[in-house]
Structure 1
Amino acid sequence: MSFQPVVLGGGVSGWRFLQRTLDKQAEAFAKSAPMVRDETHFREKIIAVKSVDDLVGDRRLMTVLLGAFGLSGDINNRFFIRKVLEEGVDLPGALANRLADKRYFAMAEAIGFSGGVAPTSRAPDFADKIITAYRAQSFEAAVGAQNPDMRFALALKRDLTSLAAKPGSDNAKWYTLMGTPPLRKVFDTAFGLPSSFAALDLDRQLSVYQERAQSMFGDSKLSQFADPEKIEELTTRFLVRAQLTAVQTDTSPAAFALQMLQNMPRVQRPLPR
């Protein structure tokens, strides 16, 4: 049986507890039997992969590979994943280059099937890199099963730090963020943006993100989030807004009763004589 992470509630208090216990919990999770079996299989079999069919035909290999990029939900979309991997990333028209979700590009680039070039899965450190990412993503998914907001917060530190530190224009980084669903979820929530915001023209979205970043953090650049203190501030804003939204949209009987009690007029009791 896999180790189940302990998550004590949501919001900032829940996040602080998770941070205090993160290293020990992640270590215990990585040592659980299912994780060890998946990782052992990946290490043993990935070196023999010579074609996309070899890879896609092995469900356990695909479990680790897709899991490493947060794409576990595509485990049964074999035709789609095969096409993403076969076309690679070298040609502008390749599927991975055309998809809005940049995680597919990252996976196709990492595995390296393109134009007959040997896949990078044969590189000595390939398995280590994929397994490290798989451990992190799997642990975050287990945390997310108990509290989705905590999963987003965990992924934020890793993914945003990496994106902010990448070379290239700041606008390009913002566009990459827009195409990375977990990061976008955090920013949209922290910035108080509605779900309809994603339907706007990309250039308009960019302007809004930059305006909100300037207003809240004093800087419109995404590269500012290379600073751990800025990421922690963003995380806090995200968790507070997410918890507030959850309370406002809670339609459970308990929440309804509480709302009724809060809205009841106060009874003016006569002063004792």
Structure 2
Amino acid sequence: MLNTYTSYQLIARDIGKALERVEKQPIIERETEYYLKNITKVKTIDEFVKNDRLFKYAMKAHGLQDMAYAKAFMVKALKEGVADKDSFANKLTDKRYAEFVKSFNFAELGERTTVFNKAQQGAVDKYLLRVGMDGGNTQSEAVQKEVKYYLDNIVKVTSAKDLMADARLYAFAMKSFGIEASIPNKEMMEKVLAGGVRDPKSFANEMADKRYAAFATAFNFEAYSADATTINPSQQPSTDKFLRQTLEEDAGKDNEGVRLALYFERKASSIGSFYDVLADPALAKVVRTALGLPEAFASADIDRQVKLFEEKLKISDFSNPKKLGDFLKRFTSLWEINNPSSPVQASVGILFGMPPAYGVSTDLMFAMQKLRF
């Protein structure tokens, strides 16, 4: 049996292919097809939770499948939305609930929730608001003509280059976000769109004027490529999340350490502090294991745990692919020692340096000791 590190690497080094294999599983293919065919028909929270098949798919996509039975709880979260920092979802320690509500934001978008796209309806809403603020008539023939042209053509745009090539679309989009003064500065806008918003240090995120980051969020070619102008968080992103969730679950059936490593890799870039780590039992388990801490340490004072983590690790390292890779190598190696994939062979392998497919090799143990965080 392959050890934890090797099993993790076989999946992590080509996540795309691993997800394709999951997607081709008959039951997964069938459920995904049903979901995409029917989610756009959902107009209300009530319709959503009453369709058990759709609701369970969506819950699993966000890692909340164990709470699919708690419909009253989820209805409360959906009704209050996430606009108010004191809303039910925002006050929950587990941030997966807030992410779920963002994906199915009925509180803000109502009947448009499952078809709303920031680059389409979102931009039009903002454009009309700007027209009104400037004293214009939003129902005038000229304005409605621009809206129609925009909606008819924005869906054909598959790149930042396409957007800027159509002066009419580009001007509409820029005015929507109140940054029409920057229309001539295409070089800057190319940087805004190319960097996206996933990286906190991207060009748009580091600009003092947050309207540019909002623009990059709506026209997120960096994250969604050709799908940026058609994507809806309740549609394709949810199916992508479902496939990733299934991949991790399948890996966990053979080796829980592999599932934890894949999960940590997925969440790493969103970790803002070690308090975030402690708020998520799975993330906390990975960190404790990587640092060689006993499970009993989980019951220690939270501030004390955070202090120790900060002494040993840097949060910024989790956003660095190389350093994250080293960290997960250490985790999977220590996990293997504590949870041998093949107990008898693992112990022999450690003693006599058998091939790394069996337990943990002597070379790997020495390499692990040299890792620095």
TM-score with structure 2 setting the length: 0.55
The alpha-carbon deviation at position 230 of structure 1 amounts to 0.9
**What residue identity is the alignment partner of 1:96?**
A
Q: Is the 8 A contact 2:78 2:106 kept in 1?
A: yes
**What residue identity is the alignment partner of 1:246?**
N
* Greater Cα offset, 138-147 or 112-121: 112-121
1:210-221 maps to which residues of 2 (within 5 A)? 210-213=310-313, 220=314
The alpha-carbon deviation at position 24 of structure 1 amounts to 3.4
The alpha-carbon deviation at position 115 of structure 1 amounts to 5.7
* Greater Cα offset, 91-100 or 67-76: 91-100
Q: Is the 8 A contact 2:249 2:259 kept in 1?
A: yes
SS in 2 for 1:114: helix
The alpha-carbon deviation at position 74 of structure 1 amounts to 1.7
What is the identity percentage for the equivalent residue pairs of Structure 1 and Structure 2? 27
Alignment match, 1:31: 24
1:194-273 maps to which residues of 2 (within 5 A)? 194-213=294-313, 220=314, 222-247=315-340
Alignment match, 2:65: 72
Alignment match, 2:185: none
Q: Distance in 1 between matches of 2:112 and 2:328?
A: 37
Alignment counterpart, residue 5 of structure 2, candidates 5, 12, 15: 12
1:1-273 maps to which residues of 2 (within 5 A)? 8-19=1-12, 22-114=15-107, 117=110, 120-123=113-116, 124-126=230-232, 127-161=235-269, 163=270, 172-213=272-313, 220=314, 222-247=315-340
SS in 1 for 2:107: coil
Q: Is the 8 A contact 2:43 2:110 kept in 1?
A: no
Q: Is the 8 A contact 2:39 2:114 kept in 1?
A: yes
Q: Is the 8 A contact 2:61 2:238 kept in 1?
A: yes
Q: Deviations over 1:190-229 (max 9, x none)?
A: 122333434444433322221121xxxxxx3x12221111
Aligned residues: 231
Q: Is the 8 A contact 1:103 1:180 kept in 2?
A: no
Q: Deviations over 1:150-205 (max 9, x none)?
A: 111112222213x15xxxxxxx4333232233322211221223334344444333
Larger Rg: 2
The alpha-carbon deviation at position 62 of structure 1 amounts to 1.7
SS in 2 for 1:145: helix
Q: Is the 8 A contact 1:88 1:96 kept in 2?
A: yes
**What residue identity is the alignment partner of 2:282?**
P
C-alpha RMSD of matched pairs (Å): 2.7
SS in 2 for 1:137: helix
Which portions of structure 1, spanning 4 or more consecutive aligned residues, are displaced by more than 6 angstroms?
none
Q: Distance in 1 between matches of 2:329 and 2:302?
A: 26
Q: Which has the higher contact order (CA 8 A, sep 6+)?
A: 2
Name stretches of at least 5 consecutive residues in structure 1 with no aligned partner: 1-7, 165-171, 214-219, 259-273
Alignment match, 2:131: none
SS in 1 for 2:339: helix
Q: Distance in 2 between matches of 1:9 and 1:82?
A: 43
Q: 1:228 to 1:196 in 2, by over 3 A?
A: same
Q: Is the 8 A contact 1:88 1:94 kept in 2?
A: yes
Q: Is the 8 A contact 2:90 2:98 kept in 1?
A: yes
Q: Deviations over 1:6-60 (max 9, x none)?
A: xx43322333334457543431221222112211222122112222111111122
